Chain A
Amino acid sequence: MSDKYPDGYATQGRRSEDNKSPDDSGAGLLRPYIITGGRTEAANSDLSIESVIQTKDGFAGLGFEKRAIAKHCAEPKSIGEIAAHLKVPLGVAVVLVSDMLAEGLVIAHKRASANDTGLIERLIEGIRAI
């Protein structure tokens, strides 16, 4: 019968939007902040796990981690890849790259927008091609 839920579904069906507890609204969600090296600061709001970073001017005179990032990003890399390569937590990579951006050592690209039809079409074609 098409009007019958499969076994067990009827009692377990997902609650509809208007049937939710106030706590589900998202308004009370905890905001993530990043700690590194004893410093606490908000993550650079423009940097996400997929932000792509590239080194601008080589890596002379940099400290250990930043030199590692500068070397790694001679070819463009995302924050996620940087964190994995340096074996540091994501939040640490965000703070290090934020510093390097402020110091003009690296550049970052803006993320893609879902409203960019041409870009979505390129993604579809690109996935087909792999």
Chain B
Amino acid sequence: MTALQHPEVPPQSAKIVISGGFGVGKTTLVDTISEITPVRTEANMTAASIGHDDRQHLPDKNKTTVALDFGRVTIDETLRLYLFGTPGQDRFGFMWDYLVNGALGAVILADTRRLSDCYPAIDYYESRRIPFIVAINQFEGSPQHRLDQVRMALNIPGRIPVVRFDARDRDVSKEVLIELLSLLLR
């Protein structure tokens, strides 16, 4: 085997997570950006409630299976970006700590027809001080609110970017990721 195939260390990896409510475009965004067909990985985990005596004797503690969206962008030979859609359903919330661990930041997708669907994601990243931006996906019949009005409804500070985009458009979706990364440099 050549040296190229066996570098001293495998490429470094960075992760950005994509969150938001049901059907808001998470899979579409991963698909639009990823160089590989998004992998649909199953996460089969058992949440054991260590340190919580009241829950320790439940028969089958939250054993569940969920499909995850997972995409890849090769930046160069030594750096890769992985995109990863968090499962939208509330009942998978317990997995988020594991899945989000180590992420550079999050893109929270929102649909103005049902803005409240993204509140749990905003609460989650805000409370853990994980950098995030909000990207508004425009659907058929979505009200065209001004971004400052959306920001007010979401109750997030001015330093957090709120952008409009289309998850089906590659260039616009790239800009959304760049917006998040730029936030990390501020």
Contacts and interface: CB of A to CB of B under 8 A. Distances in A.
B13 A52 contact: yes
A31 B177 contact: no
Contact of B68 (A34, A49, A74): A49
Nearest to B74: A126
A103 interface: no
B115 A90 contact: no
The B interface, classified by DSSP as helix, strand, loop or mixed, is mixed
A105 to B, nearest CB: 13
A30 interface: yes
Interface residues of B, number: 80
B79 A34 contact: no
Contact of A52 (B11, B49, B119): B11
A43 B47 CA distance: 12
Contact of A80 (B79, B82, B115, B143): B82
A37 B119 CA distance: 38
A117 to B, nearest CB: 6
Contacts of B153: 5-6, 9, 12-14
A35 B46 contact: yes
A114 B105 contact: yes
Interface stretch (B21-29, B94-102, B158-166): B94-102
A53 interface: yes
A99 B156 CA distance: 43
Contacts of B154: 13-14
Task: Determine the main DSSP class of A at the interface with B.
Answer: mixed
B97 A31 contact: yes
Contact of A107 (B9, B115, B155): B9
Interface in B1-54: 1, 5-7, 9-15, 33, 35-36, 39-50, 52
B44 A92 contact: yes
B46 A120 contact: no
A112 B47 contact: no
B127 interface: yes
A80 B50 contact: no
B90 interface: no
B155 A13 contact: yes
Contacts of B42: 83, 88-90
30 contacts: A6-B150, A12-B115, A15-B119, A15-B155, A20-B123, A26-B127, A29-B97, A31-B47, A32-B97, A35-B45, A50-B82, A52-B12, A52-B13, A74-B5, A80-B68, A84-B70, A90-B41, A90-B44, A92-B44, A107-B10, A109-B11, A111-B12, A111-B14, A114-B105, A120-B181, A122-B75, A123-B81, A123-B181, A128-B174, A130-B174
Given A107-B10, A127-B73, 10 more contacts: A6-B149, A30-B47, A30-B52, A32-B94, A34-B45, A81-B39, A83-B41, A91-B43, A127-B81, A127-B181
